[in-house]
Amino acid sequence: MRAHEAGALHADLGHGGPSWLRTPDDVNALVPHLWPRTVVRGRDGVLTVGGVSVRELAERFGTPAYILDEADFRARCREFRDAFKGADVFYAGKAFLCKAVARMVAEEGLSLDVCTGGELSVALAAGFPADRIGLHGNNKSIAELTRAVDAGVGRIILDSFDEIDRLTAIARQRNARPNVLIRVTVGVEAHTHEYIATAHEDQKFGFSLAGGAAAEAVARVLEEGVLELRGLHSHIGSQIFDTSGFEVSARRVLGLHAEIRDRYGVQLPELDLGGGFGIAYTTQDDPSPPADLAAGMAKIVQEECAAKDLAVPHLSVEPGRAIAGPAVFTLYEVGTVKDVDGIRSYVSVDGGMSDNIRTALYDASYSATVASRASAAGPTLARVVGKHCEAGDVVVKDEFLPADVAPGDLLAVPGTGAYCRSMASNYNHVPRPPVVAVADGQARVVVRRETEDDLLALDVG
């Protein structure tokens, strides 16, 4: 018998699972808001996405694989676009970017955020309209800035005095006048994991508002008169579930807008409040729909502008995770199952921390289900682990899986569309998995699987 077959489960939770994890009534049930919208478990017990069974996907494309529900991804783009009507929605490509995704983003009418020359290359290679691209980054090189200016990107978000000097020189030399925003650090700490909070003062991004650097950056850009200062930018963190952090940041950034108006007699036309909208990784998470976020943010901005007698600037936002995250699940095959008596079952899959570093890096929580069949067995408390040579190689810390989970089963982990493929590594020389887009009964590879030959091709010894 498996260590945790139902009955003993509640007593065992003190050893293993977190207190919120409850024994499921049915291990085969899918919690809808965790899964891409076209995913269902068919009558035969097998999960399908976009009308294609995961068994077929595993046979054709192998495992592990990231499976992208294209209809879901596009619907989330549209929901943001429609909710933020009158504003610009920049999809944050750092969450996940490839040419096919860049095209979907363009087709759905969104703009695109990139933060390196590499991401810019993908966007340009996909034919993404350059004037709808924004370039971020706290250490953009001369080469990256030059490429962005030459490509005619729509905006560059300035992050340091060195960068102001660099871009001013490039613009002079090229006789160009790029649009810029100044990234302001507003001293708001989003309620999230420390390593992914980006707007409190003690960090590398942006110009400090409280310390006066932001006002000095504005002065420098206006005095030089070479760059087109369009507005201010603030990004307060990730996995944020309400608008209270945005309220404080909008108030502070608009305070600087008002100062600029008073001092220079110009009102900057743009305000970018960044991304960071949270998604559901487990049943504990309850994200707000884009329409609620948009209404909340519009109200905050309008009220602050009225209070400061400012014209309402053109707003933009930069969601990454909230668009890509829920649209993807990772499909693995189970290789070994080990019962560690009195604690839990260790279910090893054919990927791990190389395709999802978030559990190890941020202590992130995920869920999982057996995808290739329904089971009549009761639940067992399991930990889904990878194949890497590291004890911390955990994909899902705690999940109830059917007690008969066995080698050969396909296991699906939802919510892996953001920051999993984009942060994937080759640890232990494991090739990175493909991304397979599925829609209307058709599956196509949009990022191919890396091969051992790809890895050996870099090895010149």
Question: Which residues contact ligand LLP (rule: CB under 6 A)?
Answer: 92, 94-95, 113, 136, 196, 198, 235, 238, 274-277, 318-322, 358, 362, 418-419
Query: Count of CB atoms within 10 A of residue 62's CB?
Result: 15
Cβ nearer to ligand LLP, comparing 58 with 322? 322
In this structure, what DSSP letter does residue 99 have? H
Cβ nearer to ligand LLP, comparing 24 with 237? 237
Going edge to edge, which strands form the sheet with 40-41?
40-41, 47-49, 52-53
Cα separation, 370 vs 411, whole angstroms: 5
Cβ nearer to ligand LLP, comparing 16 with 274? 274
CB of 205 to ligand LLP, least distance (A): 7
Question: In a 3-state reduction of DSSP, which class is residue 138?
Answer: coil
Q: Which two tokens stand for residue 17?
A: 């699972």
The H-or-E segment that residue 4 falls in is none
CB of 80 to ligand LLP, least distance (A): 10
115 is a catalytic site residue: no
DSSP code per residue over 264-311: HS----EEE----B---SSTT--PPPHHHHHHHHHHHHHHHHHHHT-P
Cα separation, 363 vs 397, whole angstroms: 9
Question: In a 3-state reduction of DSSP, which class is residue 180?
Answer: strand
CB of 112 to ligand LLP, least distance (A): 11
Catalytic residue from among 98, 115, 389, 420: 389
Q: Which two tokens stand for residue 183?
A: 């990234």
CB of 206 to ligand LLP, least distance (A): 9
Cα separation, 22 vs 261, whole angstroms: 55
CB of 5 to ligand LLP, least distance (A): 34
Cβ nearer to ligand LLP, comparing 52 with 153? 153
Catalytic positions: 389
